[in-house]
Amino acid sequence: MTLIKTDKGREALRSRDPHLAPRERQIVILANGTHSRVSLQQLLARDIGPQLHRLLASGYLEERGPTPPSQPYLSAPAPATAAVGVERSSALPKTEDQSQPPRTRRSLAGTKMYIVDMLQLLRDMDASSMAVCVHSSQGEAEFIENVVLAVRLIVAKCGPSYGLRVVNTLLDTVPELHVAVFQTLAREIEAGGAQP
């Protein structure tokens, strides 16, 4: 059975219904008919049973039909990113001179532009839904949480190697306050724990 948002769920997203908690809002956004309860829980990497129960009971979501088979990833954004990685490493040789300015500005806006671009390269409904979550984040903490979820989705679709390249770019982009979150995520991906 797959989860899909109802008319009530779509209207709640449109009107930014205050009765939906941020986590419930993410669940409703991602409930696009391609995820079962289990796959959605794996994507969000936490227990969402109570939220799912409430959303189903309140009529924001409904379950339909059998779970569709997982579709293989068909687009191939890796070569473009690989070229960017080569360009970055050759353009900026490692030196001991710390007087040079950093190669990127650290900002939430830059982080948002980058992760949304990476999601657009996937060209699928899950990535589009995740981009909506990133765009509609309320507050810095929720935004960073959504970026982490976006990286997990990228790892699931494209593999850990590609996911690590995305995280490495984010490590150069996110404000210093959030660097530790992405360092932890990189270690998790390397250990194979970020794939649903």
Whether residue 104 contacts residue 110, with contact meaning beta carbons closer than 8 Å, is answered with yes
pLDDT in tens, 76-99: 344 443 444 444 444 444 444 444
Whether residue 58 contacts residue 88, with contact meaning beta carbons closer than 8 Å, is answered with no
pLDDT in tens, 97-141: 444 444 557 888 889 999 999 999 888 888 888 999 898 888 899
Distance from C-alpha of 44 to C-alpha of 153, rounded to nearest angstrom? 9
What mean pLDDT is predicted for residues 140-145? 92
Coil, strand or helix at 181: helix
pLDDT of residue 77: 41
What domains can be seen in the chain, in order of their start residue? 2-64 (1.10.10), 78-93+103-190 (no CATH)
What mean pLDDT is predicted for residues 129-157? 91
Distance of CA 88 to the CA centre of its chain: 23
Tokens standing for 193? 């724990």
pLDDT of residue 12: 86
pLDDT at residue 72 is higher than 60: no
| Percent above pLDDT 90 for the chain | 24
Distance from C-alpha of 126 to C-alpha of 34, rounded to nearest angstrom? 8
pLDDT of residue 71: 44
User: Comparing C-alpha atoms, which of 13, 92, 84, 86 is closest to residue 55?
Assistant: 13
pLDDT of residue 94: 45
pLDDT of residue 150: 93
Q: Among the listed ranges 26-30, 111-115, 168-172, 177-181, which one has the minimum average pLDDT value?
A: 26-30
Mean pLDDT for the chain? 78
In this prediction, residue 194 has a pLDDT band, given cuts at 50, 70 and 90, of low
pTM for the complete prediction? 0.52
pLDDT of residue 88: 41
The sheet carrying 32-35 orders its strands as 32-35, 2-5, 61-64
In this prediction, residue 153 has a pLDDT band, given cuts at 50, 70 and 90, of very high
Distance of CA 49 to the CA centre of its chain: 20
User: Comparing C-alpha atoms, which of 58, 173, 166, 158 is closest to residue 109?
Assistant: 173
pLDDT at residue 143 is higher than 90: yes
pLDDT of residue 101: 46
